[in-house]
Chains A and B, each alone.
Chain A
């Protein structure tokens, strides 16, 4: 018996000895932030851009800004630029794109929610970064970056929460409050209390250094110019003079120039056997090329890169399945997005931007042979993009619609493109200054000089007799695919007008609904926009 008790004692000891340890020592997952301080290996200067401690926040710009289903998509498809047609069994997708096109979208629409979460995800990264020890310049940059994301929320949803500290909730602000916050953040980063033609920016912690992936004084002014241009829509109070002044300051004081004659890069999409492919991309086309990272017109851009900075997917979104062979892309495109025919037709045939912005006509492969669509139902095997689209739904032609070629493609392109997406560029600022001056004085002739500068770069004759309508058209042609069309249509009072496959829409559609999942997660602290 004695031995048995010994054994039992041992067993009992075992129970209390090693055996209640439940620490979880993660060895396959990383539970703290990581940052590596070395130059990026991106191909065309993209990727993390100026890789530094701020990359974690700047990289958030890429989310949804040039892909299907986020910020770019809801801005573009709800305007009269771009459509996603239902091609029989293809691209119906629960009606999200038809609803977007016809302004029948509601709070459950997925892309509207994705846009919200990516903006707030970016804001959280900025807020986190602002808790760390940054120098004055870095702090100002991140505040401008955060203000830019709030500017997008202001423009898209209007009434949002102004969250500035990690982990701290904030009440839902009015649209005017959000506007005031964005304005004050930008002004304080510029070290001024208001914008004027002769302001002194020496107190600004921002620099005037040229780096398209980081915010400098001119980038902040560019955002401010956009904000003031739309101020009347946001708050009811016009701020056109300030819009013009902010834009003018950059045009007059910075070293940025319009990319015109002689401003060129080699064409990475040149097929050797296709003579119509230019050897180089020049002028307007060069601003959006895969190798546009050093373009002199770009003040601030989103750094996309096929390897280190994914998120630009225009080639896949727009090209027909067979068009994979036009550029010998690594994978098959999706045949989704195309330009509206009326929008395409608003370009003059001599307009250099028409060729740069669209892909139409028969398609040829690397060796110059016609590309065939083996699944063609009309007996026309040869792939030929036609500007006209027969219908929005349900049986739209697979080949209908001019394709989106502005952010041009490189041969052997990967799933993610290398082109940088401009946020602020000089061409836009010329048009903001033109519009601001014209609207401030209610005299569109004041816009003619700047408009004609832009037209000249596109190879067009000066326009006389400028008015609101043809200014809007000109701005549309210039800014195609740069996510300004929706706000331009709203500012010019045309967003609720009928266009192809769309009737009049309710005025409340000028704001997107607060996404339902966000209202559900907010415990009653978010309320829906009027009309939804």
Chain B
């Protein structure tokens, strides 16, 4: 190989220069641990770039080693070793496991600390603990693995990002997703890192850890470290997988015959619409990486290819991602330069989640095609498909997915360069520059023959095209310096720095219709729209953000006394363009104190007994710009403006103050961490009604309200078996969170309307000061049905029933709390079993105490006579006597669940030593294999936020309300079950 040859010559040259007189020889040997050979361990001759990696049998060979050289042997998770050759040419080395892992270096904000020194709640998940199987979204790697971190992709649409919440709701009106930091790049995009390229993920859970990130740290911080090259030869890795997804569950509806027997309108055909619009989706993933390096330079390049198919017809994506990293030491090993670059292109077919909804509720006796209609029907108008004209919110689901297209194309590009210079041995300066660009184009086109959004029924304006383009640009510059010093028993380190970040965004949107009535797709030929010849139909808008900047100065001190008492304190002063001119800057302090009690108690067999307490203040930024300003929108006719909001020059940061108390304990086979926290989120950024007498628009963005959440998290890990042949490790995490709304805009209010048909103004969630958030509030079904109507309970026993939802807050109303949208407890249970070459990984996950409003049932389970052309939902809870729809306790269900989230089986082959392949591993895994729950909907996972209701072909909302969890809307994807076969080869 050329590279090797070059390096050898270089080495020889160097050896000649420096140690011309020394005797060079070949050295070989093995590296092993207590249970056997260690493949992939690094062996480097100290002071040189000469190194190698062990093969699958733990063997290594090094040439041109001086007889008196010292070998450095290292392997992740083991204590590194230095061995002097003393003339030996064959040497067997045994590494001891870094059992305590206490000296493990953990990446925290602007630097790293050993695990022991940390005084805040930080969880590290490394790649061997990641979720397995088909993982297309990096956040899914962590699902259920970190106590207090909730990750839910309800239904599991492959094109949707999961909702991530740390310790429950952390912000109202500002961004409530955790801050992502990838290789030091603050605010990076998780979509631009392939799950296969991730080495480990650290989660900073509490305020004292996150405060160094100031803003955006409120919802927690997720630090992603990508894989890097390791020195010693060139390593090529291939991994690939093939997966198949099927529908795991959906809400029960009637078959055509049951529907007719229950009084449904018989249109003559018999169809299973769900079967017609869903498929078994296959997903193919291929990853290749090349990595390697020598003593001073390391590199890794990877290419990742994903072709994912959803269970809904025409849904899925094709993604290409590449990532490169080079790291080098220069200037006498004083300057370390890290350069990372990554690019992702994703071409999505979103299809239409609505097709799943209509597949459930479309008349099962309706024919697919108009030619089979029992009545006179104008088939050509609808592309040959049958439509139940005259019924609100009813569309032929097969026509939706077959006639229309809904696609997206997204490019993300990121580079970062980090320069770290050691001014002195104990003083370093670090500078980071990063830039990201992000472009996306979404196109949807509705044919002139599509009843769904295509206006096929219109006599003169059919077809619709929508085009949205967005460009984002993100620049980051950070400069900080760290100084370390020891004075007696005190070791301390000082960090100070500056951060500058700017985001720019622009977008435009076009919507027009009235296209020639033929088969051609006009999305890329908009000039054919007849709307261009008629006033008032074209919908066009454009927007650009101002230079949206965040600027900060920060400082931190980390001090250790006697290697047992730890103090961390930081202060960040941060400003943002998004706030009112009087309040752009704010201070975010944090302090943490910890003690390793075992250092003094010296308990038997106990490795660590650490207690720690931390307090920190973080801020949260709203998503929009211009919130503190008076803004104007064009009036009808575009000849004048309407003021839309009033200015608020005092608009300021939403703040979160958090106190965290933790205990870490480790002995022999058991390790555990317990965290207890309490936090106050205050000054929510909300547009609210203000007195119209003072503010002409009656609307203004203000700071108001206060949340208090508290909870605990327990993580336990136990090595149940650790024989040479059989190892079994189990880990359990449990978390609890309770969030109380202490203050709000109004003493109480109702939100979260059920929606059309017929259930507008049916708000179902009560928001009340002094109560937990997410209270489902409604009348209680007595169990009795009279003339088709549910009878409700007279809750206050005043002899009068007041149960119309628009009187929900009336003091005389007969309403009560029917459930709670957020879970009380969340549980993750990991099992890792290893015997010989086999390994088994079983991961169970559960959430308990939450309820969901099953909206499918609330709308379609009543046997409504006057609209008997929707299919009837028919769960085990159905009461066929009910013939009209009213929201009540009947449709609120407990949604506790316990599921086998992931089961995987792996086999690692023993290979004879050869020149080509170093290792082969095969895996088989299943995701979402079974769920134990009483919930009758598709997916019992909590609905943590609400996007509102849509109907009749309307477009789904893009803003989410975090204060009204618990509504399982009709526009959710159905949950799927995935089986994956994987292969990993190391060359």
Whether the pair A161, B693 counts as a contact (CB closer than 8 A) is yes
User: Given contacts A109-B806, A374-B388, is CB(A88)–CB(B864) below 8 Å?
Assistant: yes
Whether the pair A521, B690 counts as a contact (CB closer than 8 A) is yes
Proximity string of chain A (369-390) to chain B, C-beta cutoff 8 Å, 1 when within and 0 when not? 0001111110001010000000
A125 within 8 A of B: yes
A464 within 8 A of B: no
A24–B581 Cα gap in the complex (Å)?
Answer: 9
Whether the pair A59, B746 counts as a contact (CB closer than 8 A) is no
**Nearest chain B CB to A526's CB is how many angstroms away?**
9
A522–B762 Cα gap in the complex (Å)?
Answer: 25
Whether the pair A90, B806 counts as a contact (CB closer than 8 A) is no
Whether the pair A394, B788 counts as a contact (CB closer than 8 A) is yes
Whether the pair B761, A394 counts as a contact (CB closer than 8 A) is no
Residues of A within 8 A of B637 (CB): 40-42, 47-48, 51, 55, 59, 305, 307-309
Whether the pair A24, B697 counts as a contact (CB closer than 8 A) is no
Stretch from A181-189, A209-217, A253-261, A317-325 forming part of the interface with B:
A317-325
B506 within 8 A of A: yes
Residues of B within 8 A of A167 (CB): 693-696
Whether the pair A34, B641 counts as a contact (CB closer than 8 A) is yes
B303 within 8 A of A: no
Stretch from A15-23, A278-286, A490-498 forming part of the interface with B:
A15-23
Q: Which residue of A lies closest to B580 (CB)?
A: A24
Whether the pair A20, B551 counts as a contact (CB closer than 8 A) is yes
User: Given contacts A24-B577, A89-B859, A108-B809, is CB(A377)–CB(B804) below 8 Å?
Assistant: no
**Nearest chain B CB to A369's CB is how many angstroms away?**
9
A218–B394 Cα gap in the complex (Å)?
Answer: 50
Residues of A within 8 A of B693 (CB): 161, 163, 167-170
B6 within 8 A of A: no
Whether the pair A395, B866 counts as a contact (CB closer than 8 A) is yes
Residues of A within 8 A of B457 (CB): 324-325, 332
B429 within 8 A of A: yes
Q: Which residue of B lies closest to A366 (CB)?
A: B459
Residues of B within 8 A of A308 (CB): 536, 636-639
Whether the pair A93, B692 counts as a contact (CB closer than 8 A) is no
B20 within 8 A of A: no
Stretch from A116-124, A350-358, A421-429, A481-489 forming part of the interface with B:
A116-124
User: Given contacts A15-B498, A381-B375, is CB(A121)–CB(B389) below 8 Å?
Assistant: no
Of the candidates A394, A412, A520, A525, the one whose C-beta lies within 8 Å of that of B747 is A520
Residues of A within 8 A of B636 (CB): 47-48, 59, 62, 305, 308-310
Whether the pair B641, A56 counts as a contact (CB closer than 8 A) is yes
Residues of B within 8 A of A452 (CB): none
Of the candidates B376, B391, B429, the one whose C-beta lies within 8 Å of that of A11 is B429
Q: Which residue of B lies closest to A95 (CB)?
A: B804
Whether the pair B536, A307 counts as a contact (CB closer than 8 A) is yes
User: Could you say which of B376, B693, B808, B869 has the most chain A C-beta atoms within 10 Å of its C-beta?
Assistant: B693
Residues of B within 8 A of A34 (CB): 632, 634, 640-641
A266 within 8 A of B: no
B862 within 8 A of A: yes
Residues of B within 8 A of A375 (CB): 265, 388-391, 394, 867-869
A156 within 8 A of B: no
Q: Which residue of A lies closest to B760 (CB)?
A: A93
User: Given contacts A23-B577, A91-B758, A106-B810, is CB(A124)–CB(B392) below 8 Å?
Assistant: no
List residues of B (599-657) whose CB comes within 8 Å of A's CBs.
Answer: 625-626, 628-643
**Nearest chain B CB to A61's CB is how many angstroms away?**
12
User: Given contacts A33-B632, A35-B641, A109-B806, is CB(A88)–CB(B885) below 8 Å?
Assistant: yes
B202 within 8 A of A: no
Residues of A within 8 A of B423 (CB): 4
Of the candidates A93, A124, A330, the one whose C-beta lies within 8 Å of that of B458 is A330
List residues of A (66-98) whose CB comes within 8 Å of B's CBs.
Answer: 86-96, 98
Whether the pair A29, B884 counts as a contact (CB closer than 8 A) is no
Whether the pair A89, B635 counts as a contact (CB closer than 8 A) is no
Whether the pair A25, B691 counts as a contact (CB closer than 8 A) is no
Stretch from B107-115, B433-441, B540-548 forming part of the interface with A:
B540-548
Residues of A within 8 A of B870 (CB): 89
Whether the pair B866, A398 counts as a contact (CB closer than 8 A) is yes
Proximity string of chain A (157-187) to chain B, C-beta cutoff 8 Å, 1 when within and 0 when not? 0000101001111100000000000000000
**Nearest chain A CB to B473's CB is how many angstroms away?**
14
**Nearest chain B CB to A363's CB is how many angstroms away?**
11
User: Given contacts A88-B867, A99-B806, is CB(A394)–CB(B884) below 8 Å?
Assistant: yes
B486 within 8 A of A: no
A397 within 8 A of B: yes
A520–B746 Cα gap in the complex (Å)?
Answer: 6
Whether the pair B862, A332 counts as a contact (CB closer than 8 A) is no
List residues of B (333-348) whose CB comes within 8 Å of A's CBs.
Answer: none
Determine the interface band of chain B, counting residues with CB < 8 A from chain A. Answer: 35 or more
Proximity string of chain B (680-692) to chain A, C-beta cutoff 8 Å, 1 when within and 0 when not? 0000000011111
A86–B933 Cα gap in the complex (Å)?
Answer: 35
B380 within 8 A of A: no
A520–B750 Cα gap in the complex (Å)?
Answer: 13
Residues of A within 8 A of B625 (CB): 24, 26, 28-29
B759 within 8 A of A: yes
A124–B498 Cα gap in the complex (Å)?
Answer: 46
B444 within 8 A of A: no
A396 within 8 A of B: yes
Residues of B within 8 A of A450 (CB): none
Residues of B within 8 A of A128 (CB): 643, 696
Residues of A within 8 A of B376 (CB): 372
Of the candidates A40, A93, A376, the one whose C-beta lies within 8 Å of that of B265 is A376
Whether the pair A110, B758 counts as a contact (CB closer than 8 A) is no
B902 within 8 A of A: no
Of the candidates B629, B639, B808, B810, the one whose C-beta lies within 8 Å of that of A38 is B639
Whether the pair A412, B696 counts as a contact (CB closer than 8 A) is no
Of the candidates A22, A25, A169, the one whose C-beta lies within 8 Å of that of B551 is A22
Of the candidates A88, A366, A383, the one whose C-beta lies within 8 Å of that of B865 is A88
Proximity string of chain B (367-409) to chain A, C-beta cutoff 8 Å, 1 when within and 0 when not? 0000000011000000000011111101000000000000000
B479 within 8 A of A: yes
Whether the pair B506, A372 counts as a contact (CB closer than 8 A) is no
Q: Which residue of B lies closest to A123 (CB)?
A: B692
A516 within 8 A of B: yes
Q: Which residue of A lies closest to B809 (CB)?
A: A108
A23–B429 Cα gap in the complex (Å)?
Answer: 30
B34 within 8 A of A: no
Whether the pair A120, B746 counts as a contact (CB closer than 8 A) is no
**Nearest chain B CB to A359's CB is how many angstroms away?**
16
User: Given contacts A168-B693, A330-B455, is CB(A32)–CB(B389) below 8 Å?
Assistant: no
Residues of A within 8 A of B553 (CB): 15
Residues of A within 8 A of B753 (CB): 94
Whether the pair A88, B632 counts as a contact (CB closer than 8 A) is no
Whether the pair B866, A56 counts as a contact (CB closer than 8 A) is no
Whether the pair B390, A376 counts as a contact (CB closer than 8 A) is yes
Q: Which residue of A lies closest to B810 (CB)?
A: A106
Whether the pair B865, A31 counts as a contact (CB closer than 8 A) is no
Whether the pair B389, A372 counts as a contact (CB closer than 8 A) is yes
B576 within 8 A of A: yes
Proximity string of chain B (768-788) to chain A, C-beta cutoff 8 Å, 1 when within and 0 when not? 000000000000000000001
Q: Which residue of A lies closest to B634 (CB)?
A: A34
User: Could you say which of A33, A305, A321, A376 has the most chain B C-beta atoms within 10 Å of its C-beta?
Assistant: A321
A335–B952 Cα gap in the complex (Å)?
Answer: 13
Whether the pair A92, B883 counts as a contact (CB closer than 8 A) is no
Whether the pair A108, B758 counts as a contact (CB closer than 8 A) is no
A-B CB contact pairs (8 Å), 22 listed: A4-B423, A19-B500, A25-B547, A30-B632, A32-B632, A40-B637, A87-B866, A88-B862, A91-B757, A94-B806, A95-B806, A96-B806, A110-B806, A168-B693, A321-B389, A328-B458, A331-B458, A375-B389, A375-B868, A377-B869, A395-B866, A516-B809
Beyond the given A40-B637, A56-B641, A86-B758, please list 4 additional residue pairs across the A-B interface where CB-CB is below 8 A: A59-B635, A161-B693, A305-B636, A324-B457
- Closest 7 A/B residue pairs (Cβ): A95-B804, A308-B637, A394-B884, A307-B536, A94-B805, A88-B864, A375-B391
